[in-house]
Amino acid sequence: MTFIILFEDASQADPDIRKTYMPAHLDFLEAHSDAIQSAGPLSDAAGAGQGGLWVVDVPDEAAAKALVHADPFWPTGLRKSFRILAWRQVFAYGKRRIDPKT
C-alpha cells in the first residue's frame, strides 16, 4: 500500500541538526529503498525549510510508522510531528493510472 508521510520540523530545533545527520539519513533512505520510493525536503516560497515528504510502499500504516521511528533524524528533535496518509495514484507522467469506472 502506498502512503505519503508528511514531516513538520520543529521551529526551535538546532539549525545544525540537518547538516550533522544528513549523511546518516541518506544512508537510511538508501538502505530502505525497497520501501521508500521518494523523499525530500519541503520549503515555503521563500525557501525556508518546512519539513519533508516521503512516498512509501509498505504493507500497512504500522510499517510506515516504524520507518519514521528508525530514521536517524527522528530522535534528534528535528522533527516536530508527522502524518501518514494513504495515497492512491491516479495520474502520472501525463497519463491516467486507473480505470475511471473504479
pLDDT digits (tens, 9 = 90+) for 26-83: 999 999 999 999 999 999 999 888 899 999 999 999 999 999 999 999 999 999 999 9
pLDDT number for residue 77: 93
Residue 102 lies in a domain: no
Domain that holds residue 71: 2-96
pLDDT number for residue 49: 84
pLDDT number for residue 46: 93
Q: Is 85 exposed, middle or buried (0-12, 13-18, 19+ CB in 10 A)?
A: exposed
Residue 48 lies in a domain: yes
CATH number of the domain that 27 lies in?
Answer: 3.30.70.1060
Residue 101 lies in a domain: no
Q: Are 1 and 64 in contact (CB under 8 A)?
A: no
Residue 26 lies in a domain: yes
Q: Rg of the Cα trace of the chain?
A: 15
Residue 57 lies in a domain: yes
Q: What is the value of pTM for the model shown? A: 0.90
pLDDT above 70: residue 101: no
Total structural domains in the chain?
A: 1
